[in-house]
């Protein structure tokens, strides 16, 4: 099984994985609208020979089979204020 990975031009560090190149038929229209025009990033095999940088391969496979796509979003940004306040509590 292969996956085709597209980068979002609208959202930094956001990627859309699909099974076939340029086949977005199973991706909700609302998601594509917010994602922007997908920009091809790469094609990778999901056979374990290559490691996905920021996604769990098993979750990607399951999502592709069940819903036809996998959306990778960046991790939430750490709040500098929250980090500062927590550090202040420890001191």
Write out the two tokens for 54.
């920021």
The predicted model scores a pTM of 0.81
Domain 2-90 has CATH 3.40.50.300: no
Q: Who's near 2: CB < 8 A, 6+ residues apart? A: 19, 43, 44, 45, 46
The reported pLDDT for the residue numbered 29 is 95
- Is 70 exceeded by the pLDDT of residue 74? yes
The reported pLDDT for the residue numbered 91 is 60
Asked if 3 contacts 49 with a C-beta cutoff of 8 angstroms, the reply is no
Domain ranges of the chain: 2-90
Distance CA 5, CA 39 (A): 8
> What residues are paired with 39 via a beta bridge?
7
């Amino acid at each position: 099984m292969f996956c085709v990975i597209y980068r979002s031009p609208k959202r930094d560090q956001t990627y859309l994985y699909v099974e076939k190149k340029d086949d977005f038929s199973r991706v909700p229209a609302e998601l594509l609208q917010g994602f922007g025009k997908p920009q091809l990033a790469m094609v990778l095999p999901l056979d374990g020979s290559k490691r996905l940088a920021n996604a769990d391969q098993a979750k990607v496979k399951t999502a592709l089979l069940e819903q036809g796509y996998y959306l990778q979003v960046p991790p939430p940004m750490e709040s500098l204020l929250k980090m500062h306040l927590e550090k202040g509590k420890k001191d």
